[in-house]
Structure 1
Amino acid sequence: MTPSFHALTVRDVRRETDDTVSIAFDVPADLAAAYRFAHGQYLTLRTVIDGAEVRRSYSICAGCDDGELRVAIKRVPGGLFSAYANGNLKPGDRVEVMTPMGRFTVPLDPEAARTYVAMAAGSGITPVLSILKTVLRREPKSRFILVYGNRTVDSIIFRETLEDLKDAHLGRLSIHHVLSREPDESGLLTGRIDRAGVAELCGTLVDPAGVHAWFLCGPQGMIEDARAELLDRGVDPHAIHAELFTTGIDPTRAPAPVPHPVVEHSGDAAHITVLLDGKRKEFALPFDGEAILDAAHKAGADLPYSCKSGVCCTCRAKLVEGQVEMAKNYALQPWEVEAGYILTCQSRPLTDRVVVDFDAT
């Protein structure tokens, strides 16, 4: 199903921490199927702030069986949408919400007895909360280990919810908080979730060989450290699932031109064809010009996107003809790249003709 926006009404705004709110939306009955989500997926929200359209993606924090559609939004310095959501959104407001997307998830089996491990930092808990709630509900024989990093106790998002879940699932859910700014807090680990911390986790809390799936969600450095340590310990790379929240890239800036391999072409511009919802849009794009996504929007194609940083994967499409160069890729898995998928927000043409298909799944 091609992702699409619908205006949803805000049903509830809940203050989770001083700088984080969770927002629940009313979903009309005729849109219930379109907004049915998998644990670990996200929503892209769209609104107009100071006369300009702003889009941001936020992970769903509700479990699949909670009966609600809810995201968490942490205010970040300079964040237009996060500041707006934390300070202005209220019940009854209408927000354009894209249908759920994302692959930070795994299939579940109600008969399975598995072990899952998640490592999250800060707002990285948001999709992990959806995942662990759903696992605990739908796989009653499985257990879940959460390692959650924050600065202080007060900054722990969903702290009470997590404690309630632990009490309700004794023996199946274990939670280990890691604090970087409160070393004297009794009973809690200190420092950050880095490579040394992951090594300690594997040596004391869990045997990596017995883990069915690992979920890593947080800043780039944490994910890279954790992945490297797990791979060195022989963990199957297909069992490691990562969702990147920060890369240091300014999402308001289009990607700058990057050097690319020399490819033979006959002119100064490529002929681009974009397929979406069975329709095609064709336009010319200079080889030293902007990314395919930006050019397509200027040509009148309403393509799905959110971050424009190569992180969220909303603009993913399949390259069916020609060659492109991707400036950044933080979202596509190796098998997707091998299968021909690209991030159109980061891709520029290398050949005279390029065809990308948003309808390919």
Structure 2
Amino acid sequence: MSIAKYALAHQQCSVELFYANRDRESVIFAGVLSDLARRHPDRLRISHWLESERGMPDAAAVDELCGLDDDDEAFICGPAPFMDLVEAALRRRGTPHSRIHVERYVSLEGDPFTLDRTDSDDASVDVRVSIDGETTSVACGRSTPILDALLSHGVDAPYSCREGDCGSCMARLVDGEVIPGDGVALEPEDIDDGYILTCQATPSSGSLAIEFD
């Protein structure tokens, strides 16, 4: 997303985005993409692929949608099988390795789904989270990333890399305060609008309320 926004704002190139998601509700940055398409109708083309409607992307679909001209650059990000599929399709088309840029995430050591419950009960914070119109509350230690607490309590929160790079876990902070942590996925306007990366942010107030779009 950051690369596309920068290219459209600061260069004269065109951008083609092949964007695969589970369903319409899980499309991250849908509003931002609609705004970019409205402002750059001749330079931005978005091809949405929804697994709920078309199944998983296959080699034929990627071959059809991922053609590059001689001076184009390809940037790939997502789950490893998807990235491998797209990279293989580009290689079959003869795209040089130097023009294929793949962002791979390194697996975390240990069990990434296990919350380290070293915080005492009196140090925990009540986090109220809204997802798809449903609201629930979980306890989160002050040194625990919010996403870790949500997953530990069985909340089906969206995420991907858990490193602050992809933006899949982005949520809006409705109430309370957090320490934002590291991460590059948020744009300045996202931060101004109150969004946080739940895989990085930790509580800094007595209670929190967050909302996933």
Once the two structures are superposed, the pairs formed by residues 148-167 of structure 1 within 5 Å of their partners are 157-161=89-93
Name which structure has the greater RCO, CA cutoff 8 Å, separation 6+. Answer: 2
Structure of greater Rg: 1
SS in 2 for 1:293: helix
- Whole-Å separation in 2 of the counterparts to 1:320 and 1:115: 32
CA contact (8 A) 1:273 1:282 kept: yes
- Unaligned 5+ segments in structure 2 are 1-15, 46-61, 76-86, 114-121
- Unaligned 5+ segments in structure 1 are 1-37, 44-96, 117-126, 134-142, 150-154, 164-176, 180-191, 194-216, 220-244, 256-266
Once the two structures are superposed, the pairs formed by residues 32-43 of structure 1 within 5 Å of their partners are 39-43=17-21
Query: Do residues 295 (structure 1) and 178 (structure 2) align?
Result: no
Once the two structures are superposed, the pairs formed by residues 1-361 of structure 1 within 5 Å of their partners are 39-43=17-21, 97=22, 101-103=27-29, 106-107=36-37, 112=42, 114=43, 130=65, 145-147=71-73, 157-161=89-93, 218=101, 245-246=103-104, 249-251=106-108, 254=112, 268-288=123-143, 290-359=144-213
Partner of 2:84: none
Change (3 A) 1:340 1:130: farther
- Whole-Å separation in 2 of the counterparts to 1:111 and 1:340: 28
Return the offset for 1:328.
2.5
SS in 1 for 2:17: coil
- Whole-Å separation in 1 of the counterparts to 2:173 and 2:199: 13
SS in 1 for 2:160: coil
Between the aligned residues of both structures, percent identity stands at 24
Tell me the TM-score normalized by structure 1.
Answer: 0.35
SS in 2 for 1:158: helix
After superposition, the C-alpha distances for 1:74-103 in whole angstroms (9 at most, x for unaligned) are xxxxxxxxxxxxxxxxxxxxxxx5655344
- Whole-Å separation in 1 of the counterparts to 2:44 and 2:169: 33
Partner of 1:63: none
Q: Which has the higher helix share?
A: 2
**What is the letter of the counterpart of residue 39 of structure 1?**
L
**What is the letter of the counterpart of residue 130 of structure 2?**
L
Tell me the TM-score normalized by structure 2.
Answer: 0.56
**What is the letter of the counterpart of residue 41 of structure 1?**
Y
CA contact (8 A) 1:252 1:308 kept: no
Q: Which has the higher strand share?
A: 1
Change (3 A) 1:347 1:304: same
